A and B are shown apart, each in its own frame.
Chain A
């Protein structure tokens, strides 16, 4: 590429494009005219209440469920058109899709052979998900967390450019949830596009860059999480200090809309905590509390999804 020519950043490139996807099951319109994109190098949360159509959407994207109309593509190609699809897309769709009598390692060997991945990759991904010690045990003896790690290992076999995970933290304990979040962030940092579904906005809010909210099978909101939440009143910062009066004056001088909420409490809508922390640090003002304020994530989530419910 010649110097100076515009080049899209990773975030500008849509690794997944969903266009007008619809599917009806009998009298239920599970997904209706759904359109959104997922960028490379970003974690995108696919959020909606149970029954919103998330799993159906992901399965249509992966060619497992047929769409009535519309399509989902990876770099412009349908899943079934991908050569060695496991090297393009890794998916974790359900926690229990294992033959219970097969060992974890053999489960991966089956998938590695089918996906034309080298056998050596099996041990690599087992190491990656910290399951090497249990690799030769039969899956029916695995805990929920171990099964989820095995499913993620299967998705990583082809070192794919896109990761799709359907409710990956369901049933996991806090360390397991943390492990999944760290993995998703690490994969995005490597330039992978990560699409992760959840029925809890609060569960993914800490780890996603973008969010797509659906309800009743229809798109309710999408975009960078700060924008989506900000547009719904979530972005406000609450700061508590013994020197609140002086801090309020400084913030006002900096053009921030400060609201006094008591003798030591300020609420600053539309401003991130980091910006307020910088002002306070620069002026040597000690803070007792600094964080997001306003309505809870659940409030926003319920509002976003209520209209179609």
Chain B
């Protein structure tokens, strides 16, 4: 498994898509930090959620994971990958761990940058300083969430396989289906894996993201449910991968 994991990490580091989307995630996170830091006047209780809760890595790692696994089919590199690792379960497992790890690394890097920029803004504007414990807990939750969504993306991509279809499914789930479900049937929508559960698991105040009416779950049960979604996606993705012929 170690060799496969190393192989997957080399794949991540040697394509421009990953670097470009990671840079975009970092840039967007910093932009949001600057905007919220400059344009809002949060109290001490609100400062972490308002200014320091701008790590967008979990959304990007989800898309990157989907692109990563579906790219194996799109570029037909799946053939070489499965020749090197004929055990498809190990292959998918290594990719899942790689994207979970990449999610953690990306999230921590972005959180570090966001924290530095946020602290600078707080100091310059004379805003209340964040509680260190609360901030560290938030950073840890963000990193954990990025790991979960990275793993979820691999399962989804293995299941759907078509790159465009998989990315569209993720975007539709995130920006259309789940928001609609949350608005219309919040009793069901709060269990959704794209918006509701990640929001809950991150520990963000639902009010800060306009979901105060949805009755979101507490972080711990939300994390457990998200793990359930990952297990489901992984099992379905593996079943599809195992059943399929790898043709040219």
Hey, which bits of chain A sit against chain B, CB under 8 A?
A: 55, 59, 62-66, 79-80, 82, 85-86, 89, 91, 93-94, 96-103, 106, 109-111, 113-116, 154
Contact = CB atoms under 8 A, between A and B. Distances in A.
Contacts of B16: 101
Contacts of B77: 97-99
Contact of B247 (A65, A100, A114): A65
A101 B3 contact: no
Contact of B86 (A85, A98, A100, A116): A85
Given A55-B248, A63-B82, 7 more contacts: A82-B86, A86-B83, A94-B79, A97-B76, A99-B71, A102-B15, A110-B10
Contact of A109 (B10, B83, B245): B10
A111 B84 contact: yes
B156 to A, nearest CB: 20
A132 B232 CA distance: 45
B27 to A, nearest CB: 21
Interface in B1-59: 3-4, 6-7, 10-11, 14-17
Interface string B203-246: 00000000000000000000000000000000000000000011
Contacts of A110: 7, 10-11, 14
Contacts of B247: 59, 64-65
Among A79, A97, A102, A103, max chain B CB count under 10 A is at: A97
Given A80-B86, A97-B75, A109-B10, A59 B81 contact: no
Contacts of A106: 10, 14
Contact of A59 (B76, B85, B86, B246): B246
Contact of B245 (A66, A94, A101): A66
B219 to A, nearest CB: 36
B131 interface: no
Nearest to A106: B14
Nearest to A91: B83
A126 to B, nearest CB: 15
A202 to B, nearest CB: 24
Contact of A154 (B3, B4, B80, B86): B80
Given A94-B79, A96-B76, A101-B17, A114 B85 contact: yes
Given A64-B79, A113-B3, A85 B84 contact: yes
A261 B86 CA distance: 58
A68 B81 CA distance: 23
A291 B165 CA distance: 59
A65 B4 CA distance: 22
A115 to B, nearest CB: 5
Nearest to B74: A99
17 contacts: A64-B79, A85-B84, A86-B83, A94-B76, A97-B75, A97-B77, A97-B80, A102-B11, A102-B15, A106-B14, A109-B10, A109-B14, A111-B7, A114-B3, A114-B6, A114-B7, A115-B84
B134 interface: no
A260 B7 CA distance: 66
B187 interface: no
B137 interface: no
Contacts of A97: 75-77, 79-80
A99 B16 CA distance: 11
Contacts of A94: 76, 79, 248
Given A99-B71, A106-B14, A113-B6, A86 B84 contact: yes
B238 to A, nearest CB: 15
A100 B81 CA distance: 15
Nearest to B91: A114
Contacts of B76: 94, 96-97
A85 to B, nearest CB: 6
B79 A93 contact: yes
Contact of B4 (A85, A89, A98, A114): A114
Contacts of A62: 83
A197 B220 CA distance: 57
A9 to B, nearest CB: 29
Contacts of A65: 245-247
B187 to A, nearest CB: 43
A96 B71 CA distance: 13
Nearest to B3: A116
Given A55-B248, A59-B247, A114 B75 contact: no
Contacts of B17: 101
A71 to B, nearest CB: 14
B5 to A, nearest CB: 9
A113 B7 contact: yes
Closest 7 CB pairs of A and B: A114-B84, A114-B7, A113-B7, A64-B246, A80-B86, A106-B14, A97-B76
B93 to A, nearest CB: 13
B80 A101 contact: no
Nearest to A62: B83
B127 to A, nearest CB: 43
Scoring B3, B81, B84, B245 by chain A CB atoms within 10 A of each residue's CB, the highest score goes to B84
